[in-house]
């Protein structure tokens, strides 16, 4: 009998990449098309998840990948704040 893995990163690695991509796409589109603060809040929730993932994977990423991820995160946060204000 194998021990169960409660590690969130291990569970995340087992997820279907296509399903994760489509779920993130739905969340982004819902954030863009939802009115005002609701859309901005959805985008900020997605940004918070990306920040958590970025902090966790930072040590193993190449500098170019880090830069690209920070750029995408900055654009997402900018879009969310523009939607709110």
And the tokens for 35? Answer: 């009115």
Residue-level pLDDT at 2: 57
pLDDT higher than threshold 80 for residue 3: no
Condensed to tens digits (0 to 9), the pLDDT of residues 39-63 reads 999 999 999 999 999 999 999 999 9
pLDDT value of position 24: 93
């Amino acid at each position: 009998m194998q021990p169960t893995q409660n590690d969130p990163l291990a569970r995340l690695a087992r997820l279907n990449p296509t399903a994760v991509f489509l779920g993130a796409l739905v969340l982004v589109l819902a954030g863009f098309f939802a009115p005002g603060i609701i859309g901005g809040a959805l985008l900020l929730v997605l940004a918070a998840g990306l920040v958590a993932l970025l902090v966790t994977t930072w040590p193993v990423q190449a500098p170019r990948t880090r830069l690209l991820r920070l750029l995408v995160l900055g654009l997402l946060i900018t879009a969310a704040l523009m939607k709110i204000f």
